[in-house]
Amino acid sequence: MRVGDSMWDDLARVAGDPLFMQASSDMVAGGGSELFQMCSQVFAPMEKLREEMLRQLRAWATTFARRLSIVDVERSVPSHLHSRHAESMSVDPTPSQALLCAIALCDGDGFDAILELFSGMSQVVFVWAAEPAS
């Protein structure tokens, strides 16, 4: 899932690689693997972590536009935001639009919502990002 060469790029792997999903924790409900949750607690500064997760989510809306589905996005949105997400989308959104809407909604809700969205979407895009470029 290399996009660049920084430690921040590994965050998506920790959140999305099935290897790490075997161990889960209840530190953040729906927050993904235990390793991802630990990273989310120790990566600093916290604002940089937030910005980086949002940057990667926005990039995925473009990079994986042809592969994403609205169902992928809906499954990644924190459950307490499902109805607000459905209400805030246009009548017939593209998957990328649904993801961008979810990003804005989670960003407004707080850090834990961003963590949950990032974790869920990482699991969706991990396999695609690991494929060799064609």
Per-residue pLDDT tens for 74-100?
A: 999 999 999 999 999 878 899 999 999
pLDDT at residue 48, as a whole number: 86
| Structural domains in the chain (count) | 1
Containing domain of residue 91, as a range? 7-130
Question: For residues 73 and 102, is the Cβ–Cβ distance under 8 A?
Answer: yes
Residues 53 and 97: their CA atoms lie apart, in Å, by 17
Instruction: Look at residue 2 and tell me if it is in a domain.
Output: no
Instruction: Look at residue 69 and tell me if it is in a domain.
Output: yes
pLDDT at residue 27, as a whole number: 46
Instruction: Look at residue 67 and tell me if it is in a domain.
Output: yes
Residues 117 and 77: their CA atoms lie apart, in Å, by 5
Instruction: Look at residue 82 and tell me if it is in a domain.
Output: yes
Share of residues in the chain with pLDDT > 70 (%) = 66
Question: For residues 105 and 85, is the Cβ–Cβ distance under 8 A?
Answer: yes
Instruction: Look at residue 28 and tell me if it is in a domain.
Output: yes
Instruction: Look at residue 81 and tell me if it is in a domain.
Output: yes
Instruction: Look at residue 1 and tell me if it is in a domain.
Output: no
pLDDT at residue 44, as a whole number: 64
pTM confidence score: 0.78
With tokens 């992928």, the residue in question is 72
pLDDT at residue 71, as a whole number: 95
Q: 111, 112, 90: which is closest to 100 by C-alpha?
A: 90
- Whether cis (ω within 30° of 0) applies to the bond prior to 132 is no
Which residues in the chain show pLDDT less than 70? 1-9, 13-33, 35-36, 38-40, 42-44, 130-134
